[in-house]
Amino acid sequence: MQTTKATFVLPTRLLDDVRELVNSGLADSVSAVVRQSLEATVRQLREERIRVQFEEAARDPMFLADLQESLGDFEGISGDGLDD
């Protein structure tokens, strides 16, 4: 994985807490804690964006009509691939 050095401004107490976790052996490094935290935040925000998009789609009449049409195309097809 390619990495890039970055500089961030963080509250002193937060950085002290992270360093304490590293010094106690609960975290590998300050960078690891920052990376893991950012990865979790990015994942959470992406999931939230998808959730909002699903909610918007659920209120979109054109999407719902298209969905109903698509579902109708599969009526009569069993889950095992064999006709009933």
Spell out the domain ranges in the chain.
12-73
End-to-end CA distance of the chain: 51
**pLDDT value, residue 29:** 97
Helix H, strand E, coil C: the string for 5-46 is CCCCCCCHHHHHHHHHHHHCCCCCCHHHHHHHHHHHHHHHHH
Model pLDDT, residue 1: 87
Which 8-state DSSP code applies to residue 60?
-
pLDDT bracket for residue 70 (50, 70, 90): very high
- Full-model pTM: 0.69
For 9-52, what is each residue's pLDDT tens digit? 999 999 999 999 999 999 999 999 999 999 999 999 999 999 99
